[in-house]
Structures are given as structure tokens and as C-alpha cells.
Amino acid sequence: MKTLSLTPNVTTTLEKRIVETRRQKDILLMSHVVIGYPSFDSNRVAINSLVNAGVELIELQFPFSEPIADGPVLIKANQEAVANGATVNDCFQFAREITKKHPRVLFLITTYYNILFKYGVKKFLKSASKIGIAGVIIPDLPPEEATEYVEICKNNDIAAIFLLTPKTRYSRVQQIAGMASGMVYCVARAGVTGDRTNFSEDFDSYIQRVREATSLPIGVGFGIQTKEDIEYLKGRVDIAVIGTQAVKLLVEKGAQSLGEYMRGLRSETMSFTKL
């Protein structure tokens, strides 16, 4: 398969740094923590393990009580974090601490639009920019209602990252690609996060449709779990997203196992232990 073509017209810090890093690595890894679950201290230890394992991008999920794009593991994580009292201000304080401690890692915020709406969209995005957040993912914000959000992101060097699915019609892929910045997030399959993805024969044509619509780096997530998944994605996309499995492993086996798992996904020598 041909070498991936990345855009020469870099417009955000996120895109620039992804492009620079991809020149050195055949695929990047992106992982996930739900802030406040199981605790802020656990989050700190988990992020240290992810960073030490060489993970280039980390999503910091600001918890929301009804995370409609997420599966059971992340729903539980979100709801418990909220029940334990994690607030938006707590999350920003934590994110400020983490971005300062790990300046070479690209940190993104993932959350739902109600969080931004209640906090104030402009205030939220300016706060994110001030603490070094590189991009924001809002799964339930449709492009038809995102014009102001995209403009505020642009003015604050925040990448507005949108999700695409295999069922997204091409005209809509083009519409979303025209609004996105930093990268695009391709959902590997229909459904919610967490379930294992088995790549179908249609996957290559799906990614090709996205490539035709945008020169932004492409990440693929939802059900990415094994080293074999990562090997399959090499040469096809730029970033493999491992979210639910990271959160699950942290809770079940601890941060050390999480780090070993993430390191093993790209290692020639380490074997993968299926969860």
C-alpha cells in the first residue's frame, strides 16, 4: 500500500505535530482516561504509564452522565466520576497539571456538548487553549450546528475533531472534512465504544473515501484491542485509538499492566495478553 499522504498546509499545532511525528513512526497511538475514574490519583499514574510506553496522544474525557457514543465500560466510568463529584473545573485543573508535566504529549479533551453549553462554549475552548490542549472531540455535536464552535476553535489553535463512520455518506464526509482540523477520527464500525472490531472487506474503501475528502491525518478507533489490529492499520491510517481497553485494563490490572499492554502493541518482542 502506498505511503500515506499528509497535508503540507498545516493549520493547527495538533496537525503539525502529528505530521512531524509520523515522519518518524509508521503509526501513532492514542489512548484515553476518564478524569476522576477510578480516581484522580489513578489517572495520574495511568497517564505516566501511557507516556512511558510511548503513547503520543491522550484523550482526557471530561465525564458526562449520558455519554451516548460510549459502551458499558465508559458509561460506567463517566457515571461513577460524576457521582464521585468530578466537576468541569476539577477536570480543567487536572488537565492543566498533566499538560504541564508532559509537554511532549498531545492532549485532547473528549466530552459531550452539554458540558460546553453549560460552561460556555467560548469560555470552555479558551480555557482548554490556555492550558495546552491540542484538540477537542465532541461526539454528539453535528456539523450543521458546529459553525460557531469551529470558528472559536480556529481562533484558539484548538483542533476541532469530528467523527466519521463507515455509513457516513460521501457528501457528508466532505462536509465534515471541510470543517475538521488537526485530524479526523474514523469510527471503525457502527455502534458504541468497547466492542471488538473485526475489519471487513469494506474498510479500505471506507478509508479511501475519507482520504479523497481530506489530507488531514486519520485516526481509527472503537474496538481496537490487539497488536494484530495495529499491524493491520499500519500503512492505512496514521493513528490507532485504544480507549475502552485502556480504561478497563487500568481498573482490572493496574497502571503497570496498562503500560506493558500499550508498549506491546508496537513492540517486536513483547506479546499481547488478551483482556
In the block, which residue shows the cell 471488538?
A: 196
Alpha-carbon distance of 170 to 178, in angstroms, equals 12
Which entry of 56, 59, 229, 238 is annotated as an active-site residue?
A: 59
Long-range contacts of 248-254 (CB under 8 A, 24+ apart): 248/73, 248/275, 249/275, 250/33, 250/38, 250/42, 250/46, 251/38
Cα gap 195→189, rounded to integer Å: 10
In the block, residue with C-alpha cell 508535566:
101
Q: What angle do CA 60, 61, 66 make, to 5 degrees?
A: 180
Whole-angstrom Cα distance, residue 219 to residue 253?
27
Catalytic hit among 15, 56, 70, 238? 70
70 is catalytic: yes
**Helix H segments across the chain?**
13-22, 40-52, 72-83, 88-101, 113-119, 121-130, 147-155, 170-179, 203-213, 227-233, 244-253, 255-264
80 catalytic residue (yes or no): no
Catalytic site positions: 59, 70
